[in-house]
Amino acid sequence: MKISDFKLTKGNRTRICAKITFEDCDQPEKEIFIETSNEFGSSINLNPSAFLVGSIIPALYFKERRVAVDGRISPFLIEGLETVMALMENWTKGEFKPLVIESSRAVSLFEQLPGNRAGMVFSGGVDSIAALRLNRLRYHKNHPGYIRDCFFIHGFDIGGVVERGMKYHVFERAFNAMEKITHDAEAELIPVYTNIRHLCDERDLWLNRFFGAVLASVAHAFSSRINLFYIASSYDVNNLVPCGSHPLLDPEYSSFDVRIRHRDLSWSRIDKIRLISDWDNGLKHLRVCLANVKDHLNCGKCEKCIRTMTALLAVDALHKSDAFIENDVTPEMFEPFKINIRHREPFYCELIPLLKEKGRDDLVDTIKEKFVE
């Protein structure tokens, strides 16, 4: 794989882009990009690291023998990516073979001092809202670890799958809702648009290997603005499994200029739900659904919605949230989907004792039955 032709352009948005050329497979040449609104155009920079981090997992998946970058890459980052490749080889039982990273020794295209700010990826889900809330409770406003920028990314659940369309109107609607949370937290919400996921639109690869690297690529794209980038954990330390975002992976995408931290490993999902339930704006605008239905942030019918609604019910908070239409959960709501896929069982197990205390044996029995489907 070659990564070349780096460009920064301005139009309706400010964009950095690069050309991806595959050398050892029949994938077509592709231009990948990261862009933001012109309001934040001065904060995005033409950093080759952004495209290397975003492309490394597809390069492994398509069995490329090298990645040659037409630009200088930090040795600190290359060392991290060597660890990433070793993990990928282990997780795939040897299917993903480590490749060689080649970078130019010429003068870097990126010669700015890093920004002295902390940022985070912000989806509006349980993990990211809890991460922002914890940051506000723990850090003084003048502390360098205080989150000042939240990045809301198009090209993940919204616009990530080509066949489903780009859905920019859905993104704008979600952005407006998320801005209410970040405004309350006195943080800047920055829109980001990228097509890096489209390098390989294979669902299992995305979820189990890839998406954390694309989050990190966004951090590198804004390295003139931030030097610390938080990624909220999906699983607590007792329930870790191979995943696209993982505490052994995410920090290895750091460079000397941009540190990436996978955070809140000690917090279970129900701990995070309790934390959010005490923050009115976070609870009101909670966005967990991937369906992107018309007129609502959450469909109230899918597995993620029902799981979150059940957790909110278990901590007496479902009736306080405007994020879902229903104020109760019934066993019938569980019928359309499975709950024992993609390591979701821990999220349900921690609900069982709380539901028992509330006398909701109907939901306890339903969850137990769904475990063995």
The tens digit of pLDDT for each residue in 241-289 reads 999 999 999 999 999 889 999 999 999 999 999 999 999 999 999 999 9
Average pLDDT, the chain: 94
pLDDT at res. 110: 44
Residue 57: is its pLDDT beyond 70? yes
Q: Which stretch of DSSP H or E encloses residue 53?
A: helix 48-61
pLDDT band (50, 70, 90) for residue 292: confident
What amino acid is encoded at 292 in this protein? N
Residue pair 89/97 in contact (Cβ under 8 Å)? The answer is yes
Please give the full DSSP string across 269-335, using - where no structure is assigned.
Answer: HHHHHHHHHT-HHHHHT----SS--TT-S--SSSHHHHHHHHHHHHTT-GGG-SSSS-S---GGGGT
Task: Give the residue-averaged pLDDT of 198-219.
Answer: 96
The tens digit of pLDDT for each residue in 303-361 reads 999 999 999 999 999 999 989 999 999 999 999 999 998 899 999 999 999 999 999 99
Of 104 and 275, which is predicted with more confidence?
275
Residue pair 306/272 in contact (Cβ under 8 Å)? The answer is no
Q: Could you give phi then psi for residue 254, rounded to 5 degrees?
A: -75, 155
pLDDT at res. 111: 40
Q: Distance between CA 110 and CA 45 in Å, rounded? A: 7
Read off the tokens for 253: 């995408």
Q: What percent of the chain has pLDDT over 70?
A: 97
Q: Distance between CA 6 and CA 134 in Å, rounded? A: 37
Return the SS3 of 184. Answer: helix
pLDDT at res. 114: 57
Return the SS3 of 355. Answer: helix
pLDDT band (50, 70, 90) for residue 76: confident
Task: Give the residue-averaged pLDDT of 63-74.
Answer: 94
- Identify the residue whose tokens are 């003068």: 107
Pairing of strands 66-69, 30-37: unpaired
pLDDT at res. 216: 98
Q: Distance between CA 211 and CA 20 in Å, rounded? A: 18
Give, in order, the Cα–Cα distances in Å from 325 to each of 72, 315, 333, 363: 51, 18, 13, 19
- Classify residue 173 by burial, with Cβ atoms within 10 Å: 0-12, 13-18, 19+: middle
